[in-house]
Amino acid sequence: LQERLSSTFSKLGGKKTLDENNIKEGLREVRLALLEADVNFKVVKQFVDQVKERAMGDEVLKGLEPGQHFIKIVNEELIELLGGEQQGLDLKAKPLKLMMVGLQGSGKTTSSGKIALFMRKQHARKPYLVPADVYRPAAIDQLNTLAKQLDCPVYPSTTDMNPVDICKDALVKAEELGCDLVLFDTAGRLAIDEVLMDELENIKNECAPQEILFVADAMTGQDAVTVAETFNEKLGITGVVLTKMDGDARGGAALSIKTVTGQSVKFVGVGEKLSELELFHPDRIASRILGMGDMMTLIEKAQSEINEDEAKAMAEKMAKAEFDFEDFLGHMKKLKKLGSMEGLLKMIPGMGNIMKQMGDNAMPEDEMKRTEAIISSMTMQERRQPKLINASRKERIAKGSGVKVADVNVLIKNFKQMSTVMQSMMGGGGKGKKKGLLG
Ligand code: GDP
Ligand code: MG
């Protein structure tokens, strides 16, 4: 999305405010990204309208391109909509009663075990697991197995018992055992079902859980809305556990559910193992929904690869006219690995300015390629001492890299210009006069 948005906005140049026209295409891209993430279409419309309202007439922040500014707005709105504040569970309640609800296969049983482990580790809680899904013997066995792995007590449910009675009695047993966290692992169905809903409502009324967590499979994008709506209407959910986010799901369900129920995701399941549970980070899901994960990683990568020290060393070398074609090539290769040239070059302090001084299209990608080819055709000596490059050498280099002699000249000229700019920027005259590499 980042890339598409950037190109959409690059056409707009340095516009200073966002208006109806220049955000139109951007909004379209956002709508597509959300639909691709399987966010419910009603939710998409609502969100896009909201972003539009906020963006219109907004002044582009200093130092940002209009596209970047727009992305910033979209990202912020999304994070806010996902609501980061309410995450976590009520830690004051003792015993804290958690009721897990959701469709069959969404991950209720697994998440019960995960939350038990999480609460024991992070908050020294003593969990008590309650199998309240009596319709499938395997369901009881499954929770018993998890309880054994966790070495944690479990209510001895059997298939002939009534789920409401199980939960009520489990509260008594939990107290006897000194457990201060009770997890009701309720039954699910493949689809919503009245009888089940009534049963869940009864458990709620009899046991008064502080938290009713709706467990949603991240892969269920569109469907999540109706299901979440129904569970919420009947039971009043207090939060969401979004499971299977270790797959390639974009997590659009988080946005849909939050929008229709008003309840945010509290936990995210990221694997089958009991330890694979995370607290909800709205920013992570926001970038995932927008497909910006790659961009974030890229920026992180760029920042770590071209760290400050390195950039400083490079600037110093340039200032002292020691920066040569070999250094240049090294940096170019590093940058190329990272993807989009233009944006990345700008992340090197001072580079944005240099590029401006060199003209707007200083380094589009194919020019980078050509530049790399030319430098690769130079001998190491020529790279280190560009002064050596005379007419016959230029001709050899041009042939070797498949370009015209004029291109070699342009590169040498640009390089010289860059060194000069660098030197003046760094106040290069300070340490005594030194002749530039190119004489
Ligand atoms: P329930 O029917 O709602 O109780 O769902 P289960 O807890 O039995 O989970 C259904 C399946 O999803 C099982 O195979 C789990 O191992 C798997 N599962 C649950 N949570 C996650 C998760 O976060 N990531 C992955 N990869 N699998 C999960
Ligand atoms: Mg289950």
Residue 284 sits in the same domain as residue 317: no
- Asked whether residue 138 is marked as a ligand-binding residue, the answer is no
Domain annotation covers residue 308: yes
Within a domain: 398:
yes
Q: What is the pLDDT of residue 6?
A: 57
> In the chain, how many domains are there?
3
Considering the domain architecture, whether residues 286 and 307 belong to the same structural domain is answered as: no
Domain boundary among 82, 116, 133: 82
Identify the pLDDT of residue 302.
44
pLDDT, tens digit (0-9, with 9 covering 90-100), for 118-138 = 999 999 999 999 999 998 889
Q: Do 33 and 69 fall into the same domain?
A: yes
Whether 317 and 256 share a structural domain: no
Q: State whether 275 and 322 are in the same domain.
A: no
Q: Indicate the residue among 242, 258, 291 that finishes a domain.
A: 291
Please say which residue of 82, 107, 133 terminates a domain. Answer: 82
CATH code where residue 355 lies = 1.10.260.30
Q: What is the CATH number of the domain that holds 102?
A: 3.40.50.300
User: Which residues make up the environment of ion ligand 2, defined by Cβ < 5 Å?
Assistant: 108-109, 139
Q: Is residue 198 part of a domain?
A: yes
- What 8-state DSSP symbol labels residue 273? S
Q: Is there a domain that residue 436 lies in?
A: no
**HSE, side-chain direction, 13 A CA sphere, residue 374:** 26
Residue 331 has pLDDT above 60, yes or no: yes
Sequence-distant (6+) residues with CB within 8 A of 157 are 130, 131, 132, 134, 140, 166
Judge whether 88 lies within some domain: no
Which of 265, 305, 304 lies closest to 288 in space, CA to CA? 265
Query: Span 255-271, mean pLDDT?
Result: 91
Residues 189 and 332 in one domain: no
Extract the tokens encoding 247.
Answer: 């797959």
Residues 42 and 117 in one domain: no
In a domain, 385, yes or no: yes
Query: Are residues 32 and 175 both part of a single domain?
Result: no
Between 295 and 287, the higher pLDDT residue: 287
Ligand 2 centroid vs 223 CA: distance in angstroms? 20
**What are the Cα distances from residue 233, in Å, to 261, 262, 358, 396?**
9, 12, 62, 77
107 is in an annotated binding site: yes
Q: What is d(CA 220, CA 38) in angstroms, rounded to the nearest whole number?
A: 8
Q: 306-343 burial, b for 16+ CB within 10 Å, e for fewer?
A: beeeebeebbeebbbbebbbebbbebbeebeebebbbb
Query: Does the Cβ of 104 fall within 6 Å of ligand 1?
Result: yes
Q: Confirm or reject: Cβ of 107 under 6 Å from ligand 1.
A: yes
Confirm whether residue 186 is marked as ligand binding: yes
Same-domain pairing of 157 and 213: yes
DSSP letters for 73-117: HHHHHHHHHH--TT-S--SS-SSEEEEEE-STTSSHHHHHHHHHH
C-alpha of residue 210 to centroid of ligand 1, in Å: 24
Give the pLDDT of residue 285. Answer: 83
Give the model confidence (pLDDT) of 131-161 as tens digits: 999 988 899 999 999 999 999 999 999 999 9
Q: Which structural domain, as residue segments, surrounds residue 424?
A: 298-431
User: CATH number for the domain including 24?
Assistant: 1.20.120.140
Q: Is 83 in the pocket of ligand 1 (CB under 6 A)?
A: no
In a domain, 310, yes or no: yes
- Is the domain of 133 the same as that of 279? yes
Across 203-212, average pLDDT: 96
Query: Within this chain, do residues 148 and 282 fall inside the same structural domain, yes or no?
Result: yes
Pairing type for strands 211-217 and 181-186 reads: unpaired
Residue 403 lies in a domain: yes
Look at 87 and 43; give whichever has higher pLDDT. Answer: 43
Minimum-distance ligand to the CA of 136?
2
340 assigned binding-site residue: no
Tokens encoding 354:
């240099």
Q: Are residues 109 and 208 in the same domain?
A: yes
pTM over 0.90: no
Task: Please indicate whether residue 114, judged by its CB atom, sits closer than 6 Å to ligand 1.
Answer: no
